[in-house]
Amino acid sequence: MKEFELINRFFTGRGITRRDVDLGIGDDCALVTIPEGCQLAVTTDTLVEGVHFFSDISPKALGHRILAVNLSDLAAMGAEPAWISIGLTLPNVDETWLEQFTEGMHDIAEYYNVQLIGGDTTQGPLTITVCAKGIVPKGKALTRSGAKVGDWLYVTGDLGDAALAIEARKQGWELSDEDRSYVQKKFDYPAPQVAAGQVLRGLANSAIDISDGLLADLNHILTHSGVGATIHADKVPVSNALKNLPDEEVRLMLAMAYGDDYQLLFTVPDSNRVAVEKRLAEYGVTPTCIGQINANAGDVSLLYKDKPWPFPATGFEHFS
Amino acid sequence: MKEFELINRFFTGRGITRRDVDLGIGDDCALVTIPEGCQLAVTTDTLVEGVHFFSDISPKALGHRILAVNLSDLAAMGAEPAWISIGLTLPNVDETWLEQFTEGMHDIAEYYNVQLIGGDTTQGPLTITVCAKGIVPKGKALTRSGAKVGDWLYVTGDLGDAALAIEARKQGWELSDEDRSYVQKKFDYPAPQVAAGQVLRGLANSAIDISDGLLADLNHILTHSGVGATIHADKVPVSNALKNLPDEEVRLMLAMAYGDDYQLLFTVPDSNRVAVEKRLAEYGVTPTCIGQINANAGDVSLLYKDKPWPFPATGFEHFS
């Protein structure tokens, strides 16, 4: 296991240094200070080779991804990301791989002002668990349980691109070089909506990040809030790359029932719609209203061009 | 992956509920409150099947162990354990296994007043990462870097029992039923020295938990503190089970160069010796003085009955 100690050099002394880290990597624990009047937000995500990513994923993209999926959870609560700990299990010490993996990790950590404060590296099948910690003013966090009847349903950006990247590869779909490159980048380097999440504090009634797919994650909000929703499938924002797919049912499946988008889905009372759109625009985010919350607890009414639209169950056969 | 969602029932709604957990399992993040004037202490440990434990380990012992190793790191900093997050990767959903694993986990969590606040469960090779969080009064944490020349070196309890459990099995050593049962229990259910760690705040100058072996962990203190040490090998406390091993070199190897003991190694200025021994006794802990810190940076002088004792390098051959 000696060589596994060596890999600490890929993690120690790199990345940013936050002033609220009193003791970083190197002792039995790290020590950090939470600002007065704030709560600590904590989330954990694991990525396993062959389950969450193909074995030939770029190590840099993987380093980015493990942080992105965790920061996305902090974003969904309106928390400011601060510190991460990593449990990294590797089959062997491949210095080139580690250099690229940590480069991807440190790049996104630096972008979001996040410091690695500790972890554990062990030998075994490739598995990565990150525990991300953030801070949020006390009582101001966004949750899944705050949606109110009449709230408007929004998403922060295009859905379905990561799904298209995966399925094009699995199904052997023909994509233009430009589209393939575009969706692959969306899959490889998801951008957690960290600024948007913080902007939405005090304006949105509820929020969640879209990791399991629009409909699945919407269902979490509905269940936790005890409400229902109407969704306009034709209003779900999609990229030009996805629009270039000929089969509309497949397009809608990818955009609504897939996942890995890491956009935020959130609900806004009518009185805050203008403020939300204006404040998000200041951060370059153009939210799209795709529906509304209603009182039919747990029920989703899907509309297409204002007509009831039965979700194509057969659509799933594309992915069997 | 549907069945993996079902296993949440083994984790949700069980265990203790702390008043400082504002939002537990079930949203994108958990939310907790740190008391004013305290720092957050964070540690992460991973256990991998075949690397850190035999495949036939009792699931209950494994559930205990993954928390114990993390709580031991909090203890070494003098922190009060508070919350844990778990990344659990399992090859399949075995309800009996999960019931026992979570029982072991919840039992120790309850004992130490620790609440599970979140995690991620995925399919893959058996790998467990826990990120444990604790609180410590600001500026009062124990570290590896505070040892001073003249400090007395102490350990909180017997060393080498876990090592004996492992090696007896690997080497086929004959042990009495009583001894075998005793050391197996020490290995299976390590007891992190949580109370001792908190007692030592303000009294000890440095501390570390013995996870890699006495000499290896002592070396961390010496390196971080820029000091050296004298150790009396014959004063290292060992159990009757270990004393029953005929070969003294092997006994000392197991006690000093192995690990998995999860006792604390700490250094105390002369002025605090009486207070340390008295305060620890109130918690049923009898510390043993095994040596002293000196100015020979990075150097360890091993003595046996007050005479220089060359550590038996050949001893390692027992374990090849």
Q: Give the pLDDT confidence score for residue A249 in this predicted structure.
A: 87
| Residue A111 and residue A165 in one domain | no
The partner residue sitting opposite B74, judged by closest CB among A29, A39, A122, is A29
| Chain A interface includes B32 (CB < 8 A) | yes
Question: Are β-strands B80-90 and B21-23 bridged in parallel, bridged antiparallel, or unpaired?
Answer: unpaired
Residues 40-59 of A with CB under 8 A from B: 40-52
| Chain B interface includes A122 (CB < 8 A) | yes
End of a domain among A137, A166, A197? A137
In a domain, B99, yes or no: yes
| Residue B175 and residue B310 in one domain | yes
Compute the average pLDDT of residues A91-109. Answer: 94
Assess whether pLDDT exceeds 70 at residue A319.
no
Assess whether pLDDT exceeds 90 at residue A316.
no
Q: Give me the CATH number covering residue B195.
A: 3.90.650.10
| Residue A157 and residue A306 in one domain | yes
Confidence of residue A116 (pLDDT cuts 50, 70, 90): very high
Cα B166 to Cα B181: distance, rounded to the nearest angstrom? 12
**A77 neighbourhood in chain B, CB within 8 Å:** 27-29, 31
**A22 neighbourhood in chain B, CB within 8 Å:** 39
In a domain, A56, yes or no: yes
Q: Give the pLDDT confidence score for residue A318 in this predicted structure.
A: 39
Q: Which of A310, A293, A5, A304 is nearest to A151 (CA)?
A: A293
Q: Give the pLDDT confidence score for residue B314 in this predicted structure.
A: 39
| Chain A interface includes B84 (CB < 8 A) | no
Q: Which of A38, A83, A66 is nearest to A188 (CA)?
A: A66
| Residue A130 and residue A200 in one domain | no
Residues 131-150 of B with CB under 8 A from A: 131, 133-134, 136, 138, 141, 143-145
The partner residue sitting opposite A118, judged by closest CB among B44, B74, B138, is B44
Strand order in the sheet with B228-232: B206-209, B264-268, B152-155, B288-294, B228-232, B300-304, B307-308
> Residue A113 contacts by C-beta under 8 Å, 6 or more apart in sequence?
A16, A18, A81, A82
The partner residue sitting opposite B73, judged by closest CB among A28, A41, A224, is A28
Q: Into how many domains does chain B fold?
A: 2
Q: Two tokens at A81?
A: 């990301």
**A127 neighbourhood in chain B, CB within 8 Å:** 89, 124-125, 127
Say yes or no for a CB contact (<8 Å) between B23 and A208.
Answer: no
Say yes or no for a CB contact (<8 Å) between A40 and B40.
Answer: yes
Contact in structure between A37 and B36 (CB atoms under 8 Å) = no
Q: Tell me the CA end-to-end span of chain A in Å, nearest whole number.
A: 41
Closest residue in A to B31 (Cα–Cα): A41
Contact in structure between A137 and A23 (CB atoms under 8 Å) = no
Residue pairs spanning A and B at CB distance below 8 A: 189
Compute the average pLDDT of residues A108-126. Answer: 95
pLDDT digits (tens, 9 = 90+) for A299-310: 999 999 999 988
Assess whether pLDDT exceeds 50 at residue A313.
no
Q: Give me the CATH number covering residue B72.
A: 3.30.1330.10
Run of H or E residues at B137 = strand B127-137
In a domain, A110, yes or no: yes
> Residue A60 contacts by C-beta under 8 Å, 6 or more apart in sequence?
A100, A101, A103, A104, A107
The partner residue sitting opposite B29, judged by closest CB among A42, A48, A51, is A42
pLDDT digits (tens, 9 = 90+) for A9-22: 788 778 899 999 99
Cα A226 to Cα A14: distance, rounded to the nearest angstrom? 46
| Residue A156 and residue A277 in one domain | yes
**Cα–Cα distance list, B234 to B152, B161, B219, B248 (Å):** 16, 16, 19, 10
In a domain, B128, yes or no: yes
**A70 neighbourhood in chain B, CB within 8 Å:** none
Confidence of residue A52 (pLDDT cuts 50, 70, 90): confident
Say yes or no for a CB contact (<8 Å) between B22 and A32.
Answer: no
DSSP code, position B72: H
User: A32: which strand partners?
Assistant: A21, B40
Confidence of residue A164 (pLDDT cuts 50, 70, 90): very high
How many residues in chain B?
320
pLDDT digits (tens, 9 = 90+) for A265-287: 999 999 999 999 999 999 999 99
In a domain, B144, yes or no: no
pLDDT above 90 as % of chain A: 84
Q: Which domain holds residue A273?
A: 152-319
Report the binding-site residues of B for ATP. Answer: 119-120, 144, 211
Say yes or no for a CB contact (<8 Å) between B85 and A209.
Answer: no
Cα A287 to Cα A251: distance, rounded to the nearest angstrom? 20
Residues 206-225 of A with CB under 8 A from B: 208-209, 224
In a domain, A206, yes or no: yes
**A223 neighbourhood in chain B, CB within 8 Å:** none
| Residue A110 and residue A236 in one domain | no
**B224 neighbourhood in chain A, CB within 8 Å:** 26-27
Q: Two tokens at B250?
A: 């092997």
Closest residue in B to A209 (Cα–Cα): B28
The partner residue sitting opposite A125, judged by closest CB among B85, B125, B136, is B125
Q: Two tokens at B280?
A: 């620890």
Contact in structure between A83 and A32 (CB atoms under 8 Å) = yes
| Chain B interface includes A275 (CB < 8 A) | no
| Residue A59 and residue A167 in one domain | no
| Residue B128 and residue B241 in one domain | no
DSSP B223-255: HHHT-EEEEEGGGS---HHHHT-S-HHHHHHHH
Q: Give the pLDDT confidence score for residue B203 in this predicted structure.
A: 98
Q: What is the pLDDT along chain B (320 residues), one digit of tens a residue?
A: 455 666 677 887 788 899 999 999 999 999 999 999 999 999 999 999 988 888 888 999 999 999 999 999 999 999 999 999 999 999 988 999 999 999 999 999 999 999 999 999 999 999 999 999 999 999 999 999 999 999 999 999 999 999 999 999 999 999 999 999 999 999 999 999 999 999 999 999 999 999 999 999 999 999 999 999 999 999 999 999 999 999 988 999 999 998 899 999 999 999 999 999 999 999 999 999 999 999 999 899 999 999 998 875 434 433 43
Q: What type of residue is B177? A: D
| Residue A168 and residue A64 in one domain | no
| Residue B102 and residue B48 in one domain | yes
Residue from A42, A53, A74, A260 whose CB has the most chain B CBs within 10 Å, to mutate: A42
Cα A40 to Cα B85: distance, rounded to the nearest angstrom? 13
Predicted-complex ipTM score: 0.93
Report the binding-site residues of A for ATP. Answer: 119-120, 144, 211
Residue from B129, B260, B264 whose CB has the most chain A CBs within 10 Å, to mutate: B129
Report the binding-site residues of A for substrate. Answer: 52, 260, 316
> Residue B69 contacts by C-beta under 8 Å, 6 or more apart in sequence?
B45, B47, B130, B190, B192, B211, B262
Say yes or no for a CB contact (<8 Å) between A122 and B48.
Answer: yes
| Residue B82 and residue B223 in one domain | no
Compute the average pLDDT of residues A125-131. Answer: 96
Q: Give the pLDDT confidence score for residue B4 in this predicted structure.
A: 63
In a domain, B120, yes or no: yes
In a domain, B145, yes or no: no
